[in-house]
Amino acid sequence: MGVDSKPAVVVGAGPAGLCAAIELKRAGAPVVLMDENGKPGGQLFKQIHKFFGSREHSAGTRGFEIGRRLLADSLELGIDVRLDTEVVGIEPGLGVWAVERRSRSYTLEAGCVILATGASENGLAFPGWTLPGVMTAGCAQTLVNVHRVLPGRRVLIVGSGNVGVIVGYQLLQAGAEVAAIIEGAPALGGYGVHTAKVRRAGVPFYCGTTILRAEGEEGVERAVIAKVDRGFKPIAGTEETLEVDTICIAVGLTPALDLAYLAGCKPIFVPELGGNMPLHDGYMRSSVEGVYVVGDTAGVEEASTAMEEGRLAGIHAAYALGFLGEAAMRERTEATWGRLDSLRQGVFGQKRFAAKARILAEGKVRA
Amino acid sequence: MGSGDEKHICRCEEVSEDEIRAAIRSGARTVQEVKRWTRAGMGICQGRTCRRLVERMLCEELGLKPGEVEVSSFRQPVRPVSLKSFED
């Protein structure tokens, strides 16, 4: 196999992208890692809580510490990291259209492209949702953990999944009051460990409850909530008004599909992992030759699984570009899959494991 | 907007829920068609927030399952690009 001089281009320097780039560089492949932000790390630096899993998954380590470690590795390896660089298109033949600092546009011919562009938070439209004070939970987390700004004094959180409860706890730690966490479904959605911590802090949880509207003149002053029936329709007469100045929406994430679509990747609809996402196989190859998808872009999971998926793509891309022998590629892939499988265990992991298995079954043979 | 009942679905282009539902009732069957009809999703964020909300309305109005809504198309540049960046 000949050595291709075109670099592997990794789009997105979050946990998945960093790991992909590290694997490529370790194998000796030329790699360019691009990120639209001024700092690499994606969402890792917002994660001040400890991660789960086994020791090899850095369990017990806080997200930002994992981010720091990955950054140190990437610096040590001398990876070409291009920050403030937005990838705005993909041309046929793997031309990556990048815009640097909003002022210089160029196209880079890539040997392969690894899309690690994450996901975006879902909105929830209710009357008053455009008032100042309504924001996604991720936005509140950025304000508190990155910019050290408290978004408000008294907060309602809509959605009891992990994002909702973790952000709820972090808002409490930052000094806000959490008036309630409401959940449309009949049961709570987050890990028990996080949920229990928030409950112990005195935050009430309301299941089978939705938000009807936000009220206020210049910004949020009140939220009106109500019970819902089995068809998620509000039940008349159950309305309750909460005095809050902030409403955090935590109702799931949607994989970033834009660049994969432009590259021509075939999508698959998997509701458990966030909706439509690019179909992929066990090496994280999409349906388009030379295009890989990893992390939340390939189905919304967690930072720990994103890192392993990044490694899978990095390992295979290094092999495909001629920098890693087949035996070494297979061995590393298998080891990575072992760790991935162990991450997708437990009540929540099983569901993701089954969902991923469906994608892989359709996306060619698993490694 | 104060405490009224009007809901903006596409915040960038200020397209209301009523306008989108009217478009679907007049024949729009995909996110793409709603986009062309109402401009929802054609603003600066390129539908990052409203795309899923429009999909949901299509399901409600047309009796579709979430997976049955046609995948929305994307065009490059996927982010706003200044003309200045093309000077060379």
A210-267 pLDDT, tens digit per residue, is 999 999 999 999 999 999 999 899 999 999 999 999 999 999 999 999 999 999 999 9
Angle among Cα A115, A120, A123 to the nearest 5 degrees reads 160
pLDDT at A156: 98
Q: Which residue of A has its CA nearest to B5?
A: A127
A262 in contact with B at a CB cutoff of 8 Å? Answer: yes
Half-sphere exposure of B33 (CA within 13 A, CB side): 15
For residue B27, give how far its alpha carbon lies from the nearest alpha carbon of chain A (Å): 23
* CATH architecture for residues A123-249: 3-Layer(bba) Sandwich (3.50)
B17 in contact with A at a CB cutoff of 8 Å? Answer: yes
The domain A8-120+253-362 is placed in CATH, from the list 3.50.50.60, 3.40.50.300, 3.90.1150.10, 3.40.50.150, at 3.50.50.60
DSSP-assigned states of every residue in A195-206: HHHHHHTT--EE
ipTM for this prediction: 0.92
Residues in chain A within 8 Å Cβ distance of B44: none
Average pLDDT over residues A341-345: 90
Angle among Cα B22, B26, B32 to the nearest 5 degrees reads 85
A188-197 pLDDT, tens digit per residue, is 988 888 899 9
Q: Are the Cβ atoms of A125 and B81 closer than 8 angstroms?
A: no
Which of these, A345, A343, A346, A341, lies nearest to A360 by C-alpha position?
A341
Beta bridge partners of A206: A182
Residues in chain A within 8 Å Cβ distance of B8: 125, 130
Which positions ≥6 away from A226 have C-beta within 8 Å? A209, A210, A212, A234, A235, A238, A239, A240
d(C-alpha A177, C-alpha A154), whole Å: 5
The domain over range B1-64 is classified in CATH as 1.10.10.1100 = yes
Q: Are the Cβ atoms of B74 and A129 closer than 8 angstroms?
A: no
Q: Are the Cβ atoms of B71 and A267 closer than 8 angstroms?
A: yes
Structural domain spans, chain A: 8-120+253-362, 123-249
Same topology, domains A8-120+253-362 and A123-249? Answer is yes
Residue of B3, B11, B78 lying closest to A89 (CB–CB): B78
Tell me the pLDDT band of B3, cut-offs 50, 70 and 90. very low
Which of these, A328, A352, A303, lies nearest to A17 by C-alpha position?
A303
C-beta separation of A91 from A107 below 8 A: yes
pLDDT at A345: 87
Is residue A366 pLDDT above 50, yes or no?
no
Structural domain spans, chain B: 1-64
A100-128 pLDDT, tens digit per residue, is 999 999 999 999 999 999 999 999 999 99
Which of these, A145, A144, A147, lies nearest to A155 by C-alpha position?
A144
Q: How many CB atoms lie within 10 A of CB A76?
A: 10
Q: Are the Cβ atoms of B7 and A36 closer than 8 angstroms?
A: no
Q: Which residue of A has its CA nearest to B83?
A: A103
Q: Are the Cβ atoms of A275 and B66 closer than 8 angstroms?
A: yes
Q: How many CB atoms lie within 10 A of CB A6?
A: 15
For residue A87, give how far its alpha carbon lies from the nearest alpha carbon of chain B (Å): 8
B77 in contact with A at a CB cutoff of 8 Å? Answer: yes
Q: Which residue of B has its CA nearest to A36?
A: B79
Alpha-carbon dihedral sign for residues A236, A190, A360, A1: positive
Specify the pTM. 0.94
State chain A's mean pLDDT as an integer: 93
